[in-house]
């Protein structure tokens, strides 16, 4: 997401990011300045930031809160029952301060809801109420956002990382392969036990091998490394890693098929025209598949892997590729429109 933001906004604006949101080498590589706001200590950082002389800030690429003229929020799934009240409350307080100073806030396409926790619902309502424009990433999220009854302009736009181009990289496997992308969130949310999840993913590897296709585990998030190593060891699969999300996108684009529980790995695979099964934990997965017109590629956690993989090859490969390319084109057009409105909103501030 950060790469997409930098690609689209850096030609018009000088961008900065909070230190805890990205690693220093990532900020340096992308040319981002560092915002002098530490989320865990907002009052202290807001008071101390302006104490650093402007010439020092310029020399070290620092920006205190007075230098912020626009805010883009790409927090993904933060405004829902899935995250802590403290996280949502913190953003609501920040955003209210920005709004009172006339700073435009754009919530880039992301998932919203559910809001069963009333405190989280209220703090999320305040976040959205401070925004100039809010983009919900899918139909269900749009309904959740609209249920908060906020004054902000709330619109629908698909995931904005779809148009990102993947670089050319060497082949990650000498054979045709099924890419398996795990996500510990399925375990931590109680959707499935870790043992059952490992067994399920190994079942997909076995099913692929029966059809003459190798299996490769791709680590899409550092937090998934342990379970990735576990299933790779148990099923004698290779593991591919990279700190660069676009390299991961390129690797997924080389796959014959993909089985993924990581949302943006599914985005990368589908936008690379690769047949992909989604094993998800929230509504955002089925909604993403709907955007690509492949609703039946959502797999149940109790479904037989062979049956699920069969659906990926139910139509001729050329037809599948053409349909995925057409869907990508439709999504990219919507994302381009979103960026134009975002840039106009930020420029007006």
Question: Would you kindly state where each structural domain of the chain is located, as residue ranges?
Answer: 2-161+332-348, 177-328
Q: Distance between CA 297 and CA 310 in Å, rounded? A: 10
Bond from prior residue into 118 cis (ω within 30 degrees of 0): no
Q: Distance between CA 243 and CA 338 in Å, rounded? A: 28
Q: Which of 222, 203, 194, 330 is nearest to 277 (CA)?
A: 203
pLDDT on residue 39: 66
pLDDT on residue 40: 66
Spatial contact of 65 and 39, defined as CB atoms under 8 Å apart: no
Which are the contacts of 108, defined by CB distance < 8 A and separation ≥ 6?
1, 5, 72, 73, 74, 135, 160, 338, 342
> Which DSSP string corresponds to 252-287?
HHT-SEEEESSHHHHHHHHHTT--EEE--SSHHHHH
Which are the contacts of 174, defined by CB distance < 8 A and separation ≥ 6?
none
Q: Distance between CA 201 and CA 193 in Å, rounded? A: 12
CA 144 to chain centroid? 19
Over residues 128-150, the pLDDT tens digits come to: 999 999 999 999 999 999 999 99
Angle between the N-to-C axes of helices 305-312 and 194-210, in degrees from 0 to 180, rounded to the nearest 10: 50
Q: Distance between CA 168 and CA 165 in Å, rounded? A: 10
The answer as to CATH 3.30.479.30 being correct for domain 177-328 is no
CA 230 to chain centroid? 24
Q: Which of 232, 206, 197 is nearest to 302 (CA)?
A: 197
Distances (CA, A) of 309 to 52, 147, 208, 344: 58, 37, 8, 44
Over residues 230-241, the pLDDT tens digits come to: 999 999 999 999
DSSP state of 110: E
Q: Distance between CA 308 and CA 135 in Å, rounded? A: 32
Q: From first to last of its 349 residues, what are the pLDDT tens digits of the chain?
A: 899 999 999 999 999 988 777 777 888 888 888 888 776 666 677 777 777 888 888 878 888 777 889 999 998 888 999 888 888 998 898 899 889 999 999 999 999 999 999 999 999 999 999 999 999 999 999 999 999 999 999 999 999 999 999 999 999 999 999 999 999 999 999 999 999 999 999 999 999 999 999 999 999 999 999 999 999 999 999 999 999 999 999 999 999 999 999 999 999 999 999 999 999 999 999 999 999 999 999 999 999 999 999 999 899 999 999 999 999 999 999 999 999 999 999 999 7
Spatial contact of 200 and 300, defined as CB atoms under 8 Å apart: no
């Amino acid at each position: 997401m950060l790469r997409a933001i930098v690609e689209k906004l850096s030609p018009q604006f000088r961008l900065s990011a909070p230190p805890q949101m990205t690693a220093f080498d990532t900020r340096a590589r992308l040319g981002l300045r560092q915002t002098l706001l530490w989320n865990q200590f907002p009052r202290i950082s807001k008071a101390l930031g302006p104490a650093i002389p402007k010439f020092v800030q310029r020399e070290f690429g620092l920006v205190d809160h007075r230098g912020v003229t626009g805010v883009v929020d790409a927090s993904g799934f933060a405004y829902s029952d899935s995250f802590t009240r403290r996280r949502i409350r913190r953003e609501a307080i920040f955003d209210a301060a920005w709004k009172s100073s006339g700073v435009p806030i754009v919530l880039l396409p992301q998932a919203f809801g559910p809001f069963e926790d009333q405190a989280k619902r209220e703090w999320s309502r305040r976040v959205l109420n401070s925004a100039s424009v809010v983009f919900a990433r899918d139909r269900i999220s749009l309904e959740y956002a609209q249920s908060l009854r906020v004054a902000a302009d709330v619109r629908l736009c698909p995931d904005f990382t779809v148009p990102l181009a993947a670089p050319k990289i060497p082949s990650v496997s000498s054979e045709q392969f099924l890419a398996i992308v795990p996500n510990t969130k399925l375990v931590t949310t109680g959707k499935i036990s870790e043992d059952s999840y490992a067994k399920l993913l190994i079942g997909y590897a076995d099913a692929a091998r029966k059809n003459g296709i190798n299996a490769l585990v791709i680590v899409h998030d550092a937090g998934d490394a342990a379970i990735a190593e576990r299933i790779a060891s148990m099923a004698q699969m290779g593991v591919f890693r990279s700190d660069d999300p676009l390299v991961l996108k390129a690797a997924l684009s080389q796959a014959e098929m993909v089985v993924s529980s990581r949302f943006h790995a599914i985005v990368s695979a589908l936008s690379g025209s690769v047949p992909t099964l989604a094993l998800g934990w929230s509504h955002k997965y089925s909604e993403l598949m709907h955007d690509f017109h492949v609703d039946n590629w959502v797999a149940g956690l109790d479904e037989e892997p062979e049956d699920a993989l069969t659906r990926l090859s139910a139509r001729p490969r050329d037809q599948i590729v053409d349909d995925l390319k057409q869907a990508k084109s439709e999504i990219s057009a919507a994302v381009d429109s979103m960026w134009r409105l975002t840039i106009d909103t930020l420029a007006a501030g």
